């Protein structure tokens, strides 16, 4: 039994003059502690990266939502503007057609005035199309819309002036007939 008991007791030095057994166990213990420390370093670095990524994704998502809300509101504003513009176009086109129909009897008697009026209306229509293209290019919407409405007003003023001249002449002719 003595022979076995020697193995259970710690030996101070190996018979070959090697390091102490306690030193070996201490190195193993240090290696284990060192790997734990390194594992803790890696886990803390990974957790920092996860936290930073989560925070950045949160704020990116929040900014994306704000951007989408802004785009949706801008789209709604553009839809409202286009609806108002279409209503304005319909109103002025109906007014111009009505005035033109009223002036048509006079214009048929005076083809030179009709040609001049047609040329003017055609030029105004071309400039209106250019303005509409500018509006679709989003060039200062308010000024373009005001220019478009002004274009319609010029057309109606032309037709109203012709009708005003026609009614003035017919009123003068009626007055002359009554005076006789």
Q: Could you read off the pLDDT of 99-132 as tens digits, one per residue?
A: 989 988 888 888 888 898 889 999 999 998 888 8
- Tell me what pLDDT residue 60 has: 85
Does residue 6 lie in a domain region?
no
Q: Could you read off the pLDDT of 145-166 as tens digits, one per residue?
A: 888 899 999 999 998 998 887 7
Look up the domain containing 105 and give its range: 20-179
Does residue 121 lie in a domain region?
yes
Q: Could you read off the pLDDT of 9-27 as tens digits, one per residue?
A: 555 555 555 556 778 777 7
Does residue 153 lie in a domain region?
yes
Per-residue pLDDT at 5 exceeds 90: no
Phi, psi of 128 (to 5 degrees): -65, -40
Q: Could you read off the pLDDT of 40-76 as tens digits, one per residue?
A: 888 889 999 999 999 888 888 888 888 877 777 666 6
pTM: predicted TM-score of the whole model, two decimal places: 0.50
Number of structural domains the chain divides into? 1
80-114 burial code (b ≥16 CB/10 A, e <16): eeeeebeeeeeebeebbeebbebbeebbeeeeeeb
Alpha-carbon distance values, 41 to 49, 55, 63, 145 (Å): 12, 21, 33, 64
CB 134, CB 107: distance < 8 Å = no
Does residue 154 lie in a domain region?
yes
């Amino acid at each position: 039994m003595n022979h076995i008991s020697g193995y259970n007791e710690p030996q101070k030095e190996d018979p070959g003059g090697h390091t102490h057994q306690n030193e070996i166990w201490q190195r193993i213990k240090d290696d284990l502690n060192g790997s734990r420390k390194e594992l803790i370093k890696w886990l803390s670095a990974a957790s920092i990266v996860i936290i930073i990524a989560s925070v950045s994704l949160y704020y990116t998502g929040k900014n994306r939502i704000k951007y989408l809300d802004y785009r949706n509101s801008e789209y709604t504003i553009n839809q409202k503007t286009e609806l108002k513009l279409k209503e304005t176009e319909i109103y002025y086109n109906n007014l111009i057609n009505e005035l033109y129909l009223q002036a048509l009897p006079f214009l048929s008697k005076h083809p030179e005035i009709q040609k001049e009026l047609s040329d003017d209306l055609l030029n105004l229509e071309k400039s209106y199309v250019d303005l509409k293209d500018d509006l679709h290019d989003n060039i200062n919407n308010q000024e373009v819309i005001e220019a478009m409405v002004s274009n319609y007003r010029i057309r109606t003023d032309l037709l109203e002036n012709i009708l005003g001249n026609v009614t003035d002449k017919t009123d003068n002719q009626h007055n002359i007939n009554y005076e006789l």
